[in-house]
Structure 1
Amino acid sequence: MPSAPLNSSSVLVVQLSDSHLFAEAHGQLLGMKTADSLKAVIDLVLAEQPAIDLVLATGDLSQDGTVASYQTFRESSELIQAPKRWLPGNHDGLREMAIAAQQSDFLEPVVDVGNWRITMLDSAVPGSVPGYLEDKQLQLLAQSLSEAPQRHHLICLHHHPVPIGAAWMEPIGLRNPEALFAVLERFPQVKALLWGHVHQEFDQLRQGVRLMASPSTCIQFAPQSEDFKLDSRAPGYRWLRLHDDGQIETAVSRIAAGLFEADLSGVGY
Protein backbone atom coordinates (compact mmCIF):
# COMPACT_ATOMS: atom_id res chain seq x y z
CA MET A 1 0.00 0.00 0.00
CA PRO A 2 1.59 3.32 -1.02
CA SER A 3 1.86 6.16 1.46
CA ALA A 4 0.01 9.28 0.37
CA PRO A 5 0.80 12.31 2.55
CA LEU A 6 -1.96 14.43 4.04
CA ASN A 7 0.26 17.43 3.42
CA SER A 8 3.85 18.25 2.56
CA SER A 9 5.01 18.82 6.15
CA SER A 10 5.90 15.21 6.88
CA VAL A 11 8.62 12.63 6.45
CA LEU A 12 8.39 9.03 5.27
CA VAL A 13 10.13 6.28 7.22
CA VAL A 14 10.38 2.62 6.14
CA GLN A 15 10.96 -0.20 8.64
CA LEU A 16 12.68 -3.41 7.55
CA SER A 17 12.93 -6.05 10.25
CA ASP A 18 14.07 -9.59 10.99
CA SER A 19 15.69 -10.44 7.67
CA HIS A 20 17.65 -13.38 9.17
CA LEU A 21 20.32 -13.42 6.47
CA PHE A 22 23.13 -15.94 6.17
CA ALA A 23 26.68 -15.77 4.94
CA GLU A 24 25.60 -18.03 2.10
CA ALA A 25 23.59 -16.24 -0.59
CA HIS A 26 21.01 -19.04 -0.74
CA GLY A 27 20.73 -19.65 2.98
CA GLN A 28 17.29 -20.79 4.08
CA LEU A 29 15.30 -20.30 7.28
CA LEU A 30 12.52 -22.86 7.65
CA GLY A 31 12.43 -23.35 3.92
CA MET A 32 12.59 -19.70 2.87
CA LYS A 33 15.58 -18.13 1.10
CA THR A 34 15.90 -15.05 3.24
CA ALA A 35 18.15 -12.99 0.95
CA ASP A 36 15.68 -13.47 -1.90
CA SER A 37 12.67 -12.54 0.22
CA LEU A 38 14.47 -9.41 1.46
CA LYS A 39 15.18 -8.39 -2.13
CA ALA A 40 11.52 -8.89 -3.02
CA VAL A 41 10.42 -6.72 -0.10
CA ILE A 42 12.89 -4.00 -1.08
CA ASP A 43 11.60 -4.14 -4.65
CA LEU A 44 8.11 -3.59 -3.23
CA VAL A 45 9.32 -0.64 -1.17
CA LEU A 46 10.84 0.93 -4.28
CA ALA A 47 7.63 0.39 -6.25
CA GLU A 48 5.38 1.83 -3.55
CA GLN A 49 7.41 4.59 -1.90
CA PRO A 50 8.82 7.24 -4.25
CA ALA A 51 10.43 9.51 -1.66
CA ILE A 52 11.82 7.87 1.49
CA ASP A 53 13.49 9.98 4.16
CA LEU A 54 14.84 7.21 6.43
CA VAL A 55 15.11 3.40 6.61
CA LEU A 56 15.06 1.69 10.02
CA ALA A 57 16.36 -1.88 10.42
CA THR A 58 15.05 -3.13 13.76
CA GLY A 59 17.16 -6.16 14.51
CA ASP A 60 17.85 -9.76 13.50
CA LEU A 61 19.30 -8.55 10.24
CA SER A 62 21.33 -11.76 10.39
CA GLN A 63 20.56 -15.34 11.38
CA ASP A 64 24.18 -16.47 11.71
CA GLY A 65 25.81 -13.24 12.90
CA THR A 66 28.42 -13.18 10.13
CA VAL A 67 30.00 -10.10 8.59
CA ALA A 68 29.00 -11.45 5.18
CA SER A 69 25.33 -11.51 6.14
CA TYR A 70 25.43 -7.85 7.19
CA GLN A 71 27.24 -6.94 4.01
CA THR A 72 24.41 -8.60 2.10
CA PHE A 73 21.87 -6.54 4.02
CA ARG A 74 23.85 -3.36 3.38
CA GLU A 75 24.21 -4.05 -0.34
CA SER A 76 20.55 -4.99 -0.76
CA SER A 77 19.21 -1.99 1.14
CA GLU A 78 21.49 0.43 -0.71
CA LEU A 79 18.93 0.28 -3.52
CA ILE A 80 16.82 2.53 -1.29
CA GLN A 81 18.33 6.00 -1.64
CA ALA A 82 17.82 7.22 1.92
CA PRO A 83 19.72 7.42 5.22
CA LYS A 84 19.62 4.23 7.29
CA ARG A 85 19.84 3.22 10.92
CA TRP A 86 20.37 -0.27 12.32
CA LEU A 87 19.93 -1.80 15.77
CA PRO A 88 20.77 -5.36 16.91
CA GLY A 89 18.43 -8.22 17.75
CA ASN A 90 19.02 -11.45 19.61
CA HIS A 91 20.42 -13.24 16.53
CA ASP A 92 22.82 -10.43 15.71
CA GLY A 93 26.51 -10.03 16.47
CA LEU A 94 27.15 -6.39 17.28
CA ARG A 95 30.88 -6.61 16.52
CA GLU A 96 30.25 -8.15 13.10
CA MET A 97 27.46 -5.68 12.44
CA ALA A 98 29.81 -2.81 13.24
CA ILE A 99 32.42 -4.17 10.82
CA ALA A 100 29.87 -4.24 8.00
CA ALA A 101 28.67 -0.75 8.96
CA GLN A 102 32.13 0.82 8.71
CA GLN A 103 32.30 4.22 7.02
CA SER A 104 28.61 4.77 7.62
CA ASP A 105 26.38 6.21 10.34
CA PHE A 106 24.11 3.13 10.44
CA LEU A 107 24.75 2.49 14.14
CA GLU A 108 24.38 6.09 15.32
CA PRO A 109 21.51 5.76 17.82
CA VAL A 110 19.87 9.18 17.42
CA VAL A 111 18.69 10.78 14.20
CA ASP A 112 16.57 13.88 13.57
CA VAL A 113 14.30 13.90 10.54
CA GLY A 114 11.68 16.56 9.89
CA ASN A 115 10.15 17.60 13.19
CA TRP A 116 10.92 14.20 14.71
CA ARG A 117 13.73 12.57 16.64
CA ILE A 118 14.21 8.80 16.37
CA THR A 119 16.19 6.93 19.01
CA MET A 120 17.47 3.40 18.35
CA LEU A 121 17.92 1.30 21.49
CA ASP A 122 19.96 -1.89 21.88
CA SER A 123 17.86 -4.42 23.80
CA ALA A 124 19.94 -7.45 22.76
CA VAL A 125 21.70 -9.54 25.41
CA PRO A 126 24.59 -11.69 24.13
CA GLY A 127 23.67 -15.37 24.28
CA SER A 128 20.06 -14.64 25.27
CA VAL A 129 16.80 -14.68 23.32
CA PRO A 130 14.90 -12.31 25.65
CA GLY A 131 15.93 -8.67 25.73
CA TYR A 132 16.98 -6.21 28.39
CA LEU A 133 17.71 -2.49 28.38
CA GLU A 134 20.88 -1.83 30.33
CA ASP A 135 21.23 1.39 32.32
CA LYS A 136 23.42 2.83 29.57
CA GLN A 137 20.58 2.43 27.08
CA LEU A 138 18.02 3.96 29.44
CA GLN A 139 20.36 6.89 30.03
CA LEU A 140 20.80 7.32 26.28
CA LEU A 141 17.02 7.39 25.89
CA ALA A 142 16.51 9.93 28.67
CA GLN A 143 19.25 12.16 27.26
CA SER A 144 17.86 11.97 23.73
CA LEU A 145 14.39 12.91 24.96
CA SER A 146 15.52 15.68 27.30
CA GLU A 147 17.70 17.32 24.65
CA ALA A 148 14.86 17.68 22.13
CA PRO A 149 11.68 18.66 23.98
CA GLN A 150 10.38 20.52 20.93
CA ARG A 151 10.46 17.43 18.68
CA HIS A 152 8.10 14.48 18.46
CA HIS A 153 9.83 11.22 19.34
CA LEU A 154 9.77 7.71 17.91
CA ILE A 155 11.63 5.07 19.95
CA CYS A 156 12.84 1.84 18.32
CA LEU A 157 14.10 -1.43 19.78
CA HIS A 158 14.07 -5.12 18.86
CA HIS A 159 12.14 -6.83 21.65
CA HIS A 160 8.45 -6.35 22.39
CA PRO A 161 7.85 -4.44 25.64
CA VAL A 162 4.17 -5.45 26.01
CA PRO A 163 2.29 -8.74 25.57
CA ILE A 164 1.21 -9.28 21.97
CA GLY A 165 -1.24 -12.14 22.53
CA ALA A 166 1.12 -14.98 21.56
CA ALA A 167 1.82 -16.99 24.72
CA TRP A 168 5.04 -18.59 23.53
CA MET A 169 6.59 -15.19 22.83
CA GLU A 170 5.90 -13.61 26.20
CA PRO A 171 9.01 -15.09 27.92
CA ILE A 172 11.26 -13.88 25.10
CA GLY A 173 10.28 -10.22 25.04
CA LEU A 174 11.84 -7.30 26.91
CA ARG A 175 12.61 -8.35 30.49
CA ASN A 176 12.48 -4.86 32.02
CA PRO A 177 9.67 -3.01 30.24
CA GLU A 178 8.79 -1.13 33.41
CA ALA A 179 12.17 0.63 33.26
CA LEU A 180 11.54 1.66 29.67
CA PHE A 181 8.06 3.01 30.37
CA ALA A 182 9.27 4.81 33.50
CA VAL A 183 11.53 6.90 31.27
CA LEU A 184 8.95 7.42 28.52
CA GLU A 185 6.27 8.57 30.94
CA ARG A 186 8.46 11.51 31.94
CA PHE A 187 8.38 12.95 28.42
CA PRO A 188 5.06 13.90 26.81
CA GLN A 189 6.71 14.36 23.41
CA VAL A 190 6.99 10.57 22.97
CA LYS A 191 4.54 9.55 20.25
CA ALA A 192 5.39 5.95 19.41
CA LEU A 193 7.39 2.79 20.10
CA LEU A 194 8.40 0.57 17.18
CA TRP A 195 9.93 -2.91 17.31
CA GLY A 196 10.61 -6.15 15.44
CA HIS A 197 11.23 -9.67 16.85
CA VAL A 198 7.60 -10.85 16.71
CA HIS A 199 7.38 -11.35 12.92
CA GLN A 200 3.81 -10.01 12.79
CA GLU A 201 1.81 -6.82 12.73
CA PHE A 202 0.81 -5.17 16.02
CA ASP A 203 -0.67 -1.72 16.61
CA GLN A 204 -2.11 -0.51 19.91
CA LEU A 205 -2.20 2.56 22.15
CA ARG A 206 -0.78 2.78 25.65
CA GLN A 207 -1.40 6.02 27.53
CA GLY A 208 -1.46 7.93 24.26
CA VAL A 209 1.72 6.31 22.89
CA ARG A 210 1.42 4.22 19.72
CA LEU A 211 2.89 0.72 20.11
CA MET A 212 3.79 -1.00 16.83
CA ALA A 213 5.44 -4.17 15.57
CA SER A 214 5.89 -5.27 11.99
CA PRO A 215 6.26 -8.30 9.74
CA SER A 216 9.55 -9.94 8.98
CA THR A 217 11.04 -9.67 5.52
CA CYS A 218 11.08 -13.49 5.60
CA ILE A 219 9.05 -15.95 7.73
CA GLN A 220 5.95 -14.86 9.67
CA PHE A 221 4.72 -16.01 13.09
CA ALA A 222 1.04 -16.83 13.55
CA PRO A 223 -0.74 -14.22 15.70
CA GLN A 224 -2.51 -15.29 18.90
CA SER A 225 -0.63 -18.60 19.00
CA GLU A 226 -0.05 -20.51 22.23
CA ASP A 227 2.98 -22.36 20.85
CA PHE A 228 5.50 -21.68 18.10
CA LYS A 229 3.59 -21.60 14.83
CA LEU A 230 4.38 -20.15 11.43
CA ASP A 231 1.91 -18.11 9.45
CA SER A 232 1.28 -18.33 5.71
CA ARG A 233 1.20 -14.55 5.28
CA ALA A 234 3.79 -13.09 2.95
CA PRO A 235 6.93 -11.15 3.91
CA GLY A 236 6.50 -7.41 4.23
CA TYR A 237 7.50 -4.07 5.71
CA ARG A 238 5.97 -1.09 7.51
CA TRP A 239 5.88 2.50 6.32
CA LEU A 240 5.32 5.45 8.66
CA ARG A 241 4.50 8.97 7.59
CA LEU A 242 5.49 11.22 10.47
CA HIS A 243 3.74 14.56 10.34
CA ASP A 244 5.16 17.75 11.78
CA ASP A 245 2.16 18.06 14.13
CA GLY A 246 2.88 14.66 15.70
CA GLN A 247 0.34 12.64 13.78
CA ILE A 248 1.37 9.25 12.42
CA GLU A 249 0.03 7.53 9.34
CA THR A 250 1.25 3.96 9.02
CA ALA A 251 0.47 0.64 7.40
CA VAL A 252 2.03 -2.71 6.62
CA SER A 253 2.55 -3.80 3.03
CA ARG A 254 3.38 -7.32 1.86
CA ILE A 255 4.65 -8.89 -1.32
CA ALA A 256 2.26 -11.04 -3.34
CA ALA A 257 1.15 -14.24 -1.65
CA GLY A 258 2.76 -17.45 -2.82
CA LEU A 259 6.08 -16.01 -4.00
CA PHE A 260 7.89 -17.18 -0.88
CA GLU A 261 6.56 -19.93 1.36
CA ALA A 262 7.96 -21.20 4.63
CA ASP A 263 7.83 -24.77 5.84
CA LEU A 264 4.73 -24.41 8.04
CA SER A 265 5.56 -27.64 9.87
CA GLY A 266 8.58 -25.97 11.48
CA VAL A 267 8.65 -26.12 15.28
CA GLY A 268 11.37 -23.56 16.00
CA TYR A 269 14.34 -21.73 14.53
Structure 2
Amino acid sequence: MPHPSPSQAPVYVVQLTDPHLFADPAGTLLGLKTRDSLRHVIAQVRREQPRIDLLLCTGDLSQDGSVASYQAFRALTSEFAAPARWLPGNHDEAKVMAVVAPELVQAVTDIGQWRVVMLNSAVPGATHGQLEQDQLQLLNEALQSAGERHCLVCCHHQPVDIGCAWIAPIGLRNGAELLQRLKGYPQVKALLWGHIHQEWDELRDGVRLLATPSTCIQFAARSEDFRVSEEQPGYRWLRLHPDGRVETGVERARDFEVRLDFDSPGY
Protein backbone atom coordinates (compact mmCIF):
# COMPACT_ATOMS: atom_id res chain seq x y z
CA MET A 1 0.00 0.00 0.00
CA PRO A 2 1.57 3.37 -0.99
CA HIS A 3 2.58 5.78 1.75
CA PRO A 4 0.68 9.09 1.88
CA SER A 5 2.45 12.09 0.43
CA PRO A 6 3.95 14.56 2.92
CA SER A 7 1.03 16.92 2.34
CA GLN A 8 -1.43 14.14 3.26
CA ALA A 9 0.46 12.68 6.22
CA PRO A 10 -0.16 13.85 9.79
CA VAL A 11 2.55 15.47 11.87
CA TYR A 12 3.56 13.09 14.66
CA VAL A 13 4.20 14.97 17.90
CA VAL A 14 5.24 13.89 21.39
CA GLN A 15 4.95 16.15 24.43
CA LEU A 16 7.17 15.73 27.49
CA THR A 17 6.54 18.05 30.39
CA ASP A 18 7.59 18.82 33.95
CA PRO A 19 10.53 16.45 34.41
CA HIS A 20 12.00 18.65 37.20
CA LEU A 21 15.58 17.49 36.77
CA PHE A 22 18.35 18.48 39.18
CA ALA A 23 22.06 19.05 38.69
CA ASP A 24 22.49 16.07 41.00
CA PRO A 25 21.67 12.88 39.03
CA ALA A 26 20.16 11.43 42.21
CA GLY A 27 17.88 14.44 42.81
CA THR A 28 14.39 13.55 44.04
CA LEU A 29 10.91 14.97 44.53
CA LEU A 30 9.01 13.22 47.32
CA GLY A 31 11.62 10.50 47.13
CA LEU A 32 11.14 9.92 43.40
CA LYS A 33 14.32 10.18 41.32
CA THR A 34 13.26 12.47 38.51
CA ARG A 35 15.94 11.33 36.05
CA ASP A 36 14.90 7.71 36.54
CA SER A 37 11.25 8.41 35.88
CA LEU A 38 12.12 10.46 32.78
CA ARG A 39 14.23 7.57 31.47
CA HIS A 40 11.28 5.22 31.88
CA VAL A 41 8.94 7.60 30.07
CA ILE A 42 11.43 8.00 27.22
CA ALA A 43 11.72 4.21 26.95
CA GLN A 44 7.92 4.00 26.78
CA VAL A 45 7.85 6.61 24.01
CA ARG A 46 10.47 4.69 22.05
CA ARG A 47 8.43 1.49 22.31
CA GLU A 48 5.15 3.10 21.31
CA GLN A 49 6.02 5.91 18.89
CA PRO A 50 8.12 4.64 15.97
CA ARG A 51 7.75 7.98 14.21
CA ILE A 52 8.17 11.40 15.83
CA ASP A 53 8.33 14.56 13.75
CA LEU A 54 8.49 17.04 16.64
CA LEU A 55 9.21 16.81 20.38
CA LEU A 56 7.54 19.51 22.51
CA CYS A 57 8.98 20.10 26.00
CA THR A 58 6.60 22.38 27.86
CA GLY A 59 8.41 23.62 30.92
CA ASP A 60 9.82 22.81 34.32
CA LEU A 61 12.52 20.86 32.56
CA SER A 62 14.65 21.71 35.58
CA GLN A 63 13.88 21.96 39.28
CA ASP A 64 16.99 23.99 40.15
CA GLY A 65 17.61 25.96 36.94
CA SER A 66 21.13 24.60 36.63
CA VAL A 67 23.20 24.18 33.48
CA ALA A 68 23.79 20.54 34.41
CA SER A 69 20.06 19.79 34.65
CA TYR A 70 19.40 21.17 31.14
CA GLN A 71 22.39 19.34 29.76
CA ALA A 72 21.03 16.14 31.27
CA PHE A 73 17.58 16.71 29.79
CA ARG A 74 19.08 17.40 26.39
CA ALA A 75 21.23 14.29 26.57
CA LEU A 76 18.36 12.05 27.65
CA THR A 77 16.03 13.31 24.93
CA SER A 78 18.72 13.17 22.24
CA GLU A 79 17.68 9.54 21.72
CA PHE A 80 14.93 10.98 19.53
CA ALA A 81 16.01 11.99 16.05
CA ALA A 82 13.16 14.51 15.85
CA PRO A 83 13.70 18.25 16.31
CA ALA A 84 12.72 19.54 19.75
CA ARG A 85 11.27 22.78 21.07
CA TRP A 86 11.56 23.94 24.67
CA LEU A 87 9.69 26.57 26.65
CA PRO A 88 10.24 27.59 30.27
CA GLY A 89 8.10 26.86 33.32
CA ASN A 90 8.07 28.49 36.72
CA HIS A 91 11.01 26.39 37.97
CA ASP A 92 13.13 27.08 34.90
CA GLU A 93 15.77 29.70 34.20
CA ALA A 94 14.97 30.84 30.67
CA LYS A 95 18.37 32.46 30.16
CA VAL A 96 20.17 29.27 31.15
CA MET A 97 17.95 27.23 28.83
CA ALA A 98 18.83 29.58 25.99
CA VAL A 99 22.56 29.15 26.67
CA VAL A 100 22.41 25.35 26.80
CA ALA A 101 20.09 24.92 23.80
CA PRO A 102 19.65 28.18 21.87
CA GLU A 103 18.29 26.45 18.78
CA LEU A 104 15.57 24.66 20.77
CA VAL A 105 13.85 27.73 22.23
CA GLN A 106 12.41 28.97 18.93
CA ALA A 107 8.92 30.38 19.37
CA VAL A 108 7.45 29.51 15.97
CA THR A 109 7.88 26.26 14.05
CA ASP A 110 6.23 25.39 10.75
CA ILE A 111 5.92 21.68 10.04
CA GLY A 112 3.68 20.05 7.48
CA GLN A 113 0.37 21.88 7.31
CA TRP A 114 0.81 23.18 10.88
CA ARG A 115 2.36 26.05 12.78
CA VAL A 116 3.40 25.47 16.41
CA VAL A 117 3.67 28.53 18.65
CA MET A 118 5.59 28.26 21.95
CA LEU A 119 4.70 30.99 24.47
CA ASN A 120 6.67 31.88 27.60
CA SER A 121 4.18 32.20 30.46
CA ALA A 122 6.80 32.10 33.25
CA VAL A 123 7.10 35.05 35.64
CA PRO A 124 10.60 35.39 37.13
CA GLY A 125 10.55 34.63 40.85
CA ALA A 126 6.88 33.58 40.85
CA THR A 127 4.93 30.35 40.60
CA HIS A 128 1.91 31.69 38.70
CA GLY A 129 1.95 32.44 34.99
CA GLN A 130 1.36 35.58 32.93
CA LEU A 131 1.64 36.20 29.21
CA GLU A 132 3.31 39.59 28.98
CA GLN A 133 2.67 42.00 26.14
CA ASP A 134 5.62 40.78 24.08
CA GLN A 135 4.26 37.22 24.17
CA LEU A 136 0.76 38.32 23.22
CA GLN A 137 2.22 40.30 20.34
CA LEU A 138 4.27 37.29 19.27
CA LEU A 139 1.09 35.21 19.32
CA ASN A 140 -0.86 37.73 17.26
CA GLU A 141 1.88 38.00 14.65
CA ALA A 142 2.34 34.23 14.44
CA LEU A 143 -1.37 33.60 13.95
CA GLN A 144 -1.89 36.46 11.53
CA SER A 145 0.96 35.24 9.32
CA ALA A 146 0.08 31.54 9.47
CA GLY A 147 -1.66 31.61 6.11
CA GLU A 148 -3.51 28.35 5.49
CA ARG A 149 -1.67 26.49 8.23
CA HIS A 150 -3.51 25.12 11.24
CA CYS A 151 -2.07 26.21 14.59
CA LEU A 152 -1.11 24.52 17.85
CA VAL A 153 -0.36 26.95 20.69
CA CYS A 154 1.71 25.86 23.71
CA CYS A 155 2.52 27.38 27.10
CA HIS A 156 3.39 26.10 30.57
CA HIS A 157 0.61 27.31 32.89
CA GLN A 158 -3.01 26.20 32.76
CA PRO A 159 -5.35 28.86 31.31
CA VAL A 160 -8.57 27.36 32.71
CA ASP A 161 -9.98 26.13 36.00
CA ILE A 162 -9.24 22.40 36.28
CA GLY A 163 -11.12 21.83 39.52
CA CYS A 164 -8.05 21.79 41.80
CA ALA A 165 -8.54 24.65 44.25
CA TRP A 166 -4.94 24.75 45.43
CA ILE A 167 -3.48 25.08 41.93
CA ALA A 168 -5.90 27.74 40.66
CA PRO A 169 -3.89 30.71 42.05
CA ILE A 170 -0.71 29.49 40.33
CA GLY A 171 -2.23 29.15 36.88
CA LEU A 172 -2.12 31.59 33.97
CA ARG A 173 -3.42 34.86 35.38
CA ASN A 174 -4.56 36.12 31.97
CA GLY A 175 -5.84 32.79 30.71
CA ALA A 176 -9.26 34.24 29.89
CA GLU A 177 -7.61 36.88 27.71
CA LEU A 178 -5.60 34.21 25.91
CA LEU A 179 -8.71 32.16 25.15
CA GLN A 180 -10.56 35.24 23.98
CA ARG A 181 -7.74 36.06 21.56
CA LEU A 182 -7.70 32.53 20.20
CA LYS A 183 -11.43 32.74 19.42
CA GLY A 184 -10.55 35.28 16.74
CA TYR A 185 -8.34 32.77 14.91
CA PRO A 186 -10.26 29.71 13.72
CA GLN A 187 -7.00 28.17 12.48
CA VAL A 188 -6.07 27.50 16.14
CA LYS A 189 -7.08 23.90 16.75
CA ALA A 190 -5.47 23.17 20.12
CA LEU A 191 -3.86 24.76 23.18
CA LEU A 192 -1.36 22.55 24.99
CA TRP A 193 0.27 23.01 28.41
CA GLY A 194 1.96 21.31 31.38
CA HIS A 195 2.29 22.52 35.01
CA ILE A 196 -0.68 20.62 36.46
CA HIS A 197 0.99 17.17 36.49
CA GLN A 198 -2.20 15.49 35.32
CA GLU A 199 -4.23 14.87 32.18
CA TRP A 200 -6.79 17.37 30.87
CA ASP A 201 -8.77 17.22 27.63
CA GLU A 202 -11.61 19.63 26.91
CA LEU A 203 -13.12 21.19 23.79
CA ARG A 204 -14.04 24.85 24.23
CA ASP A 205 -15.12 27.21 21.45
CA GLY A 206 -13.65 24.86 18.87
CA VAL A 207 -10.22 24.70 20.53
CA ARG A 208 -8.95 21.46 22.09
CA LEU A 209 -7.55 22.27 25.55
CA LEU A 210 -4.92 19.72 26.56
CA ALA A 211 -2.65 19.13 29.53
CA THR A 212 -0.32 16.23 30.16
CA PRO A 213 1.01 14.21 33.09
CA SER A 214 4.48 15.01 34.36
CA THR A 215 7.35 12.67 33.65
CA CYS A 216 7.85 12.57 37.45
CA ILE A 217 5.28 12.96 40.28
CA GLN A 218 1.56 13.34 39.56
CA PHE A 219 -0.94 15.69 41.20
CA ALA A 220 -4.30 14.25 42.22
CA ALA A 221 -7.20 15.43 40.10
CA ARG A 222 -10.04 17.47 41.65
CA SER A 223 -8.13 18.05 44.91
CA GLU A 224 -8.86 21.00 47.19
CA ASP A 225 -5.44 20.96 48.85
CA PHE A 226 -2.06 19.85 47.55
CA ARG A 227 -2.27 16.11 47.02
CA VAL A 228 -0.29 13.74 44.85
CA SER A 229 -1.37 10.63 43.01
CA GLU A 230 0.54 7.38 42.73
CA GLU A 231 -0.20 7.12 39.01
CA GLN A 232 2.80 6.47 36.81
CA PRO A 233 4.53 9.28 34.94
CA GLY A 234 3.57 9.76 31.32
CA TYR A 235 3.61 11.66 28.06
CA ARG A 236 1.19 12.80 25.35
CA TRP A 237 1.19 11.87 21.68
CA LEU A 238 -0.54 13.95 19.03
CA ARG A 239 -1.37 13.41 15.36
CA LEU A 240 -1.86 16.76 13.65
CA HIS A 241 -3.73 16.01 10.45
CA PRO A 242 -3.50 18.15 7.30
CA ASP A 243 -7.23 18.93 7.51
CA GLY A 244 -6.87 20.37 11.04
CA ARG A 245 -8.03 17.34 12.98
CA VAL A 246 -6.17 16.55 16.20
CA GLU A 247 -5.85 12.99 17.44
CA THR A 248 -4.21 12.66 20.82
CA GLY A 249 -3.81 10.48 23.87
CA VAL A 250 -1.82 10.03 27.07
CA GLU A 251 0.34 7.01 27.81
CA ARG A 252 2.10 6.14 31.05
CA ALA A 253 5.30 4.31 31.92
CA ARG A 254 3.58 1.18 33.18
CA ASP A 255 6.82 -0.51 34.19
CA PHE A 256 7.84 2.30 36.53
CA GLU A 257 7.10 1.59 40.17
CA VAL A 258 6.03 4.76 41.98
CA ARG A 259 7.32 4.84 45.54
CA LEU A 260 6.85 8.18 47.23
CA ASP A 261 8.46 9.32 50.45
CA PHE A 262 6.26 11.96 52.04
CA ASP A 263 8.93 12.74 54.64
CA SER A 264 11.40 13.83 51.98
CA PRO A 265 11.60 17.33 50.46
CA GLY A 266 8.45 17.94 48.44
CA TYR A 267 7.42 19.79 45.35
Q: Same fold by TM (over 0.5)?
A: yes
8 Å contact kept, 1:230–1:266: no
Matched residue SS, 2:90: coil
Distance 1:13 1:70 in 2: 21
Alignment match, 1:226:
224
CA drift at 1:149: 2.9
Residue correspondence of structure 1 range 29-68 to structure 2 within 5 A:
29-68=29-68
Residue correspondence of structure 1 range 7-22 to structure 2 within 5 A:
9-22=9-22
CA drift at 1:267: 9.0
Matched to 1:198, the amino acid is: I
8 Å contact kept, 2:107–2:117: yes
CA drift at 1:186: 1.4
Q: Which of 127, 130, 145 is the aligned partner of 1:129?
A: 127
Matched to 2:122, the amino acid is: A
Alignment match, 1:89:
89
Matched to 2:51, the amino acid is: A
Q: Which of 256, 259, 262 is the aligned partner of 2:260?
A: 262
- Further displaced range: 252-261 or 236-245: 252-261
Matched to 1:16, the amino acid is: L
Q: 1:205-228: per-residue Cα shift (whole Å, max 9, x none)?
A: 110100000000000000000000
8 Å contact kept, 2:19–2:60: yes
Matched to 2:171, the amino acid is: G
Matched to 2:105, the amino acid is: L
Q: 1:28-87: per-residue Cα shift (whole Å, max 9, x none)?
A: 111100011111111111111011000000000000010100000000000011000000
Distance 1:27 1:192 in 2: 34
Q: Which of 238, 242, 261 is the aligned partner of 2:240?
A: 242
- Further displaced range: 254-263 or 131-140: 254-263
CA drift at 1:264: 5.3
Q: CA RMSD in A?
A: 1.5
Q: Structure 1: give runs of 5+ residues left out of the alignment.
A: 1-6
Q: Structure 2: give runs of 5+ residues left out of the alignment.
A: 1-6
CA drift at 1:258: 5.0
Distance 2:51 2:8 in 1: 12
> CA 1:267/1:229 → structure 2, altered by over 3 Å: closer, same or farther?
farther
Distance 2:88 2:17 in 1: 10
Distance 1:8 1:152 in 2: 14
Distance 1:162 1:265 in 2: 32
Distance 2:256 2:89 in 1: 27
Distance 1:267 1:207 in 2: 41
The TM-score normalised by the length of structure 2 is: 0.94
Distance 1:192 1:262 in 2: 33
The TM-score normalised by the length of structure 1 is: 0.94
Matched residue SS, 2:104: coil
Identity of aligned residues (%): 57
Distance 1:198 1:207 in 2: 22
Q: Which of 148, 151, 161 is the aligned partner of 1:150?
A: 148
Q: Which of 200, 203, 206 is the aligned partner of 1:205?
A: 203
Alignment match, 1:172:
170
| Aligned pairs, number | 261
CA drift at 1:114: 1.2
